[in-house]
Structure 1
């Protein structure tokens, strides 16, 4: 049964694509963060190991929220790794266990997501008439801004 929520099918399809692209970015960032959690080598090992664990745990909640938002507007959330890699704006990158490289890579990814989400909020609200998804995206934006701030504090 299609969602009858006062937004045209064309508009919900456009928003679902934006959300699925964000979902792909979040999944790639989740995998990268988990990889760094497993492979960090640093004098700050325990601190970063815990930081990365907190980050990927919160990313898992964000991922679930994005997928559920896609469903709420009447579409299916992407769920295959191959699809994520086609949709994402992020790069998986090479393996690294270097603290500064890891932090810089994660910061770059969070800032890429921030710029993408920020660019889509107005479009989702004004062009596609989906205030609920625009509000949801604003929340995601705030989460990534906070994580970017945390990561930026490790860099000089």
Structure 2
């Protein structure tokens, strides 16, 4: 029998928050995988700068995955952890081919923006439930992904 959780957040709200954070985890993992894939496979005149940039971004996302999953666990729910679950929960489409560098950048902008939107949607639930630790986590994630999207978008300007 599971021990009752009494942290000042109603059971129904903890469930809603955990579900939202599970979507954030799935989006983040999918973006991590896509960014790592592009790091391995990028070619062209911007190879070195993109290779390094993508590595910095996927490393940061990798480190955040644990924070998101552990917050879900702190709320009393299991964190999703399979590709099947991530595909079902993620709003970011997988890439099966090897696009050109500019298309990689476009896809990563879209992915960074998607993670930001998911975090912002979950923030409304978290804020209403008075869940400051989740709000702090979401605020940090939005800041990182908005900045990454801006940096990637800058590469697309002529």
TM category (shorter chain) comes to over 0.9
Match of 2:43 in 1: 41
Match of 1:104 in 2: 106
**Is this contact kept in 2: 1:33–1:56, CA < 8 A?**
yes
Unpaired runs of 5+ in structure 2? none
| SS state at 1:3 partner | coil
Match of 1:24 in 2: 26
Which of residues 40, 52, 55 is equivalent to 2:54? 52
Does the alignment pair 1:133 with 2:153? Answer: no
**Is this contact kept in 2: 1:41–1:97, CA < 8 A?**
no
Unpaired runs of 5+ in structure 1? none
**Is this contact kept in 2: 1:11–1:129, CA < 8 A?**
no
**Is this contact kept in 2: 1:15–1:124, CA < 8 A?**
yes
| SS state at 1:153 partner | helix
**Is this contact kept in 1: 2:116–2:146, CA < 8 A?**
yes
**Is this contact kept in 1: 2:21–2:122, CA < 8 A?**
no
1:98-151 deviation line (CA, Å, top 9, x unaligned): 11000000001111121222232122111x332221221111111101111111
Cα separation, 2, equivalents of 1:110 and 1:77: 21
**Is this contact kept in 1: 2:16–2:125, CA < 8 A?**
no
Deviation of the 1:48 alpha carbon: 0.9
Match of 1:14 in 2: 16
Match of 2:122 in 1: 120
Match of 1:70 in 2: 72
Q: Which runs of 4+ in 1 moved over 3 A?
A: none
Cα separation, 2, equivalents of 1:123 and 1:76: 19
Cα separation, 2, equivalents of 1:79 and 1:2: 24
1:65-109 deviation line (CA, Å, top 9, x unaligned): 100111122211111110000000110034124110000000011
1:37-74 deviation line (CA, Å, top 9, x unaligned): 11111111111111111111001011111001111222
Written as runs of structure 1 = structure 2, the 5 A alignment for 1:82-93 is 82-93=84-95
